[in-house]
Structure 1
Amino acid sequence: MRVFATSDEAQFALTQLSKVQFYFVEKLEKLSTGTSFKSVEWLRDNGSHGGGKRFEASTNTIFNRASVNVSQVQYEDRPDKAFLSATALSTIIHPQHPLAPSIHIHVSWTELKNGKQFWRLMADLNPAVEDTNDNVLFNDMLKKVSGEWFDSGIEQGDQYFYIPALNKHRGVSHFYLEGFTGNEQTPKAFSIDFATEVIDCYIALLEEKFSRLAPPSDSELQQQLDYHTLYFYQVLTLDKGTTAGLLIHNQNDVGTLGSLPAYINRDLLASWIALSDEAQQPLVQALVDLLPKQKSVHVTPEIKANIALAIRQHYATLK
């Protein structure tokens, strides 16, 4: 049984983000007739400090990987913790077809014991094969829903999703607002509306794509495998949220790594060892070493568990 945060704001965030979670899952199930999402619950400290529930689709003809998670963690009974509570929706969808873009959405509410409270908003479109029309539609949606904060969100997103070692970005449209509090005119449901608008835009993009997709070519499948490898690399070497989640606790490793694509190119990943920052080279080498020696590798739950261990070992050596 999970013990939830008691503040009105945290309860509002959990209720509303849970509604968004069910809304997105319902839309995805309707879009991919025959695909069902199973519910998986995880607990922080046996539930005494909260936990979460995610809905995930197994690999099938529609989704390479799909996970929609809502969690709430709180430390109201721990005076030694500066952190009071965090409530988050975090989702990544990787379609099977290389011409259908992936999406990452993260919306979270954080409360600290010093009184600070803020939202974090993230949305990024991740096509393996770029479609300019999709990019325009997605950015137009972001501009409409974020209003005066659009420029700041794009600027922060472009910085966050840049990969210096490869001189590339992960994705084509990046939006990120850290420590967002809005102003007197900001509606209470601004962040909830943001998540819903992103979901509606993404579903519309997929519906349009699925209505006219031909079987993928070998070239398109290779582009997807290589792009998913870049996604894998960025998440495990640069994504602060993923790294922090793994270092803070080991009670939800598979869920924390739910954003990883199902298949990656081991040879391509190995070629990036020498390009990586010197401090990160041992980590990238360790990731390559734990993968089977074949070009296309299936990222199984067992491999995810080993990845989590490798990341903890790497950062332990840096202390």
Structure 2
Amino acid sequence: MKTTIRNNWTKQEIQQIYDQPLMELIYHAASVHREYHNAAEVQVCTLLSVKTGGCPEDCSYCGQAARYHTDIKVQALLPTQTVIEHAQKAKNNGSTRFCMAAAWREVRDNRDFDRIIDMVKGVNDLGLEVCCTLGMLTEQQAIRLQEAGLHAYNHNLDTSEQYYDGIISTRTFDNRINTINHVRKAGITVCSGGIIGLGESHIDRIAMLLTLATMPKHPESVPVNALARVKGTPLENNAKVDIWDMVRMIATARIVMPKSMVRLSAGRIEMNETEQAWCFMAGANSIFTGERETLLVTPNPGVSEDMKMFQTLGLKPMVKHMKDEACTAH
């Protein structure tokens, strides 16, 4: 009998899971993982910044915020054909999911959004899962994306509701939830997780997982990011995230959201092969890779390095992607 999918978790229950002795927690998570997933498969995803920098938000961790003095160069929205070519390369390198990111506060109904719609259609025609992360969305904009063939929309919570104001002041936690609700209502799958290493407490991490795990439907994708410390941002001097904190977070997410893809996201560049192996053992079954060896604007392992790691660990890229769980018509 499989572990029951629950949406009525309490904070105390999640804390009890999170606080288990580490080896017990990993064993528990690995067992749940094997009930719902093939533990030998990892979905390979590619994330491309289609519009970089110049964002008016003040997210303390983000080098793309216009107000911070970083080395990141502002780049206008890429040509549609350029994006399609990147998607084709990603597919050739084994990716089954292609995510396009634009450094916007929110989507505006203009020619740039029309171009994003064309990009979604083009990537969808390649047979890839198409994901976008474009900032806040209205319900009507979400419907347009769904009709164009968008499979998933990424909109991370980042941290707990209680700690949120200490990291971002230009939008609210409720703004995040509203966008996720618009995405879900439009019939697009939800990609939502968070970042650890922002200065938050373990209680904040548990509270963020509680928000995700008590949604009426769990996010189909839950990225777990370690803070990428970008020079010039307010958090550039934060301590490197401890690998066991990362493993503990991944394992807890796996247990409380058994069917979700748990994505080992930002921060892999500072993890060696052994540390990443522990994350896979704890239930992570997706990574971001790419021929440009960047994740948005921060360093990331490249395709060849990841394939070598897979060979060492006896893992293989997931061939069948998740379109059978995809969007329902609006």
Please indicate, yes or no, whether the TM-score normalized by the shorter chain is above 0.5: no
- Greater helix proportion: 1
Q: Normalized per residue, which structure has more strand?
A: 1
Larger of the two Rg values belongs to structure: 1
- Tell me which interval the TM-score lies in, with the shorter structure as reference length: 0.3 to 0.5
User: If the length of structure 1 is used for normalisation, what is the TM-score?
Assistant: 0.33
TM-score by length of 2: 0.32
